[in-house]
């Protein structure tokens, strides 16, 4: 299956280096090799492969290679200076595709700058939009809710196989990747926090409350959350506010890249799947189009809340409420719509049969709506 970024990445390789980041096992290596099939002479080198390390360090790949794929290169000491020199002295027709785990994105932001030399693309899990060519949107959404959007568990089609994959996946993340960001004495606390977050998906989080439960300081919770976010295990959705600094201080809602990891009912998993789809849509528009789009939620001081809101250039464009079967217009959605008449209000209902309007609110089958996103 051709991944959704391919048609954007191939022409960009002729302009700059391409960085592909994303969660572990989201399909970055498969994707990079699929891109390589579109070039006459591609060489794939992995920093984890002993035989490849010597070739990478000595730059002894064939000069006539028109695409060089370097996987996990951020594990090499001085990798950014290495890439600078390699890219600046490359043969004119030679392109570079750099892939790596979530750590590549974190390490990319520190130390020496590679500014002006690369385009960044974030590869996300499978979505209804991406699967629409192979199955109906409703079937795709139902499967994503059960299995999550990571290729291996999803393509297995088996909840037992997906559970086995998930158990190993998170064991490896804790054992290997988290230790790159924290001390071994903190791993147990981070694992406990991860378990707590699984049951609080989609709810505004209080760092003070979490700190009390784990008996650590609120700033320690913030640090742990940043680690989990850096590793692309969770992502925050923050409340919309004109003043960005104020929105960052408000309580975020947390979702998982892997909907199958959510410890909740079908409704909780559905909301998480919609959140991942919206994140993928927004990041695609940012990375491929340079658009100023963002994902938020809405909440008033008296507790009125709408699940999601999309904004363009700092202005709200769409309110979204997620329901499993309830087609009666949400009171909170109607409340916000009445105060923002220019903003489209949509209630996404998984089991709705067809799209229709209830006053100013569009009631839409969730799967059909998600299939129309950009990615």
Residue 316's contacts (CB-CB under 8 Å, 6 or more residues apart) are: 240, 309, 310, 340, 343
Across the range 311-340, mean pLDDT stands at 95
Query: Among 122, 151, 175, which residue terminates a domain?
Result: 122
Q: Within this chain, do residues 108 and 133 fall inside the same structural domain, yes or no?
A: no
Asked if 23 and 86 sit in the same domain, the reply is yes
| Confidence class for position 185, pLDDT limits 50, 70, 90 | confident
Specify whether 181 is located in the same domain as 248.
Answer: yes
In a domain, 263, yes or no: yes
* Segment 236-254 mean pLDDT: 79
Copy the structure tokens of residue 263.
Answer: 């410890």
Mean pLDDT, the chain, integer: 92
Strands 356-358 and 253-256: unpaired
Q: How confident is the model at residue 184 (pLDDT cuts 50, 70, 90)?
A: low
Domain-embedded: residue 201: yes
**Which of 83-97, 167-181, 308-322 is predicted with the least confidence, judged by mean pLDDT?**
167-181
| 67 lies in the same domain as 143 | no
> Is pLDDT at 330 greater than 70 in this prediction?
yes
Residues 239 and 345 in one domain: yes
**Is residue 159, in this structure, part of any structural domain at all?**
yes
Check pLDDT > 80 for residue 249. no
Q: What is the mean pLDDT of residues 1-26?
A: 94
In a domain, 304, yes or no: yes
The pLDDT score that the predictor gives to residue 169 is: 93
**Is 375 part of a structural domain of the chain?**
no
pLDDT band at 246 (very low <50, low <70, confident <90, very high): low
Query: In this structure, is residue 286 part of a structural domain?
Result: yes
**Sequence-separated (6 or more) residues with CB below 8 Å from residue 354:** 365
Which CATH number do you get for residue 118?
3.40.50.300
Do residues 93 and 21 both lie within one domain?
Answer: yes
* Dihedral pair phi/psi, residue 364, rounded to 5°: -125, 140
Do 201 and 298 fall within a single domain?
Answer: yes
Q: Each residue of 33-71: pLDDT tens digit?
A: 999 999 999 999 999 999 999 999 999 999 999 999 999
Q: Are residues 283 and 361 in the same domain?
A: yes
Q: Look at residues 271, 268, 272, 277 and name the one whose alpha carbon lies nearest to residue 259.
A: 272
pLDDT at residue 82 tops 60: yes
> Is a pLDDT exceeding 60 seen at residue 110?
no
Determine, yes or no, domain membership for 1: no
Q: What is the mean pLDDT of residues 260-277?
A: 97
The reply to whether 27 and 96 lie within a common domain is yes
Report the pLDDT averaged over residues 165-190: 80
Residue 25 has pLDDT above 70, yes or no: yes
**pLDDT score of 107:** 59
If asked whether residues 212 and 317 sit together in one domain, one would say: yes
* Over residues 325-343, mean pLDDT: 95
Same domain, 92 and 134: no
Q: Give the residue from 93, 122, 151 where a domain finishes.
A: 122
Structurally, the chain folds into a number of domains equal to: 2
Inter-CA distances, 355 with 138, 178, 309, 352, 358, Å: 14, 44, 20, 8, 10
Do 290 and 211 belong to one domain? yes
Which strands sit side by side in the sheet containing 67-71, from one edge to the other?
Answer: 42-46, 67-71, 95-99, 17-21, 118-122
**Domain end: 69, 100, 122, which one?**
122
pLDDT bin (cut points 50, 70, 90) of residue 112 is low
Each residue of 345-369: pLDDT tens digit?
Answer: 999 999 999 999 999 999 999 999 9
pLDDT score of 74: 86
Check pLDDT > 90 for residue 270.
yes
Residue 339, judged by CB atoms within 10 A of its CB (0-12, 13-18, 19+), counts as exposed
Range of 79's domain? 6-122
CA distance 27 to 156: 15
Q: Is the pLDDT of residue 133 over 80?
A: yes
More confident residue, 177 or 290: 290
């Amino acid at each position: 299956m051709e991944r959704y970024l391919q048609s954007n990445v191939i022409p960009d390789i002729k302009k700059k280096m391409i960085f592909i980041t994303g969660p572990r096992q989201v399909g970055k290596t498969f994707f990079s090799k699929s891109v390589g099939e579109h070039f006459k002479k591609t060489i794939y080198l992995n920093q984890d492969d002993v035989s490849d390390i010597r070739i990478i360090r000595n730059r002894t790949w064939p000069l006539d290679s028109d695409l060089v794929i370097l996987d996990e290169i951020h594990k090499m000491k001085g990798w950014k200076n290495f890439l600078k020199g390699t890219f600046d002295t490359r043969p004119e027709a030679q392109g570079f595709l750099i892939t790596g785990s979530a750590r590549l994105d974190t390490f990319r932001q520190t130390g020496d700058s590679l500014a002006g030399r690369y385009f960044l693309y974030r590869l996300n899990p499978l979505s209804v939009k991406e699967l629409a060519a192979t199955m109906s949107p409703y079937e795709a959404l139902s499967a994503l809710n059960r299995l999550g959007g990571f290729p291996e568990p999803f393509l297995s089609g088996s909840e037992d196989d997906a559970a086995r994959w998930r158990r190993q996946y998170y064991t490896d993340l804790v054992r290997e990747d988290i230790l790159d960001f924290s001390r071994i004495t903190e791993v147990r606390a981070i694992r406990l926090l991860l378990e707590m977050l699984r049951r609080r998906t989609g709810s505004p989080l209080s760092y003070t409350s979490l700190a009390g439960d784990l008996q650590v300081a609120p700033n320690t919770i913030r640090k742990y959350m940043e680690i989990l976010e850096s590793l692309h295990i969770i992502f925050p959705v923050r409340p919309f506010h004109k003043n960005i600094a104020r929105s960052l201080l408000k309580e975020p809602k947390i979702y998982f890249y892997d909907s199958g990891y959510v410890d909740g009912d079908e409704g909780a998993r559905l909301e998480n799947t919609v959140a991942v789809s919206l994140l993928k849509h927004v990041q695609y528009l940012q990375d491929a189009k340079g658009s100023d789009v963002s994902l938020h939620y809405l909440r008033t001081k008296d507790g009125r809340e709408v699940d999601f809101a999309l904004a363009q250039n700092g202005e709200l464009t769409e309110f979204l409420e997620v329901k499993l079967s309830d087609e009666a217009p949400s009171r909170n959605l109607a409340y916000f719509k009445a105060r923002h008449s220019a903003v489209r209000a949509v209630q996404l209902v998984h089991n709705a049969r067809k799209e229709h309007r209830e006053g100013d609110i569009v009631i839409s089958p969730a799967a059909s709506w998600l299939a129309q996103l950009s990615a």
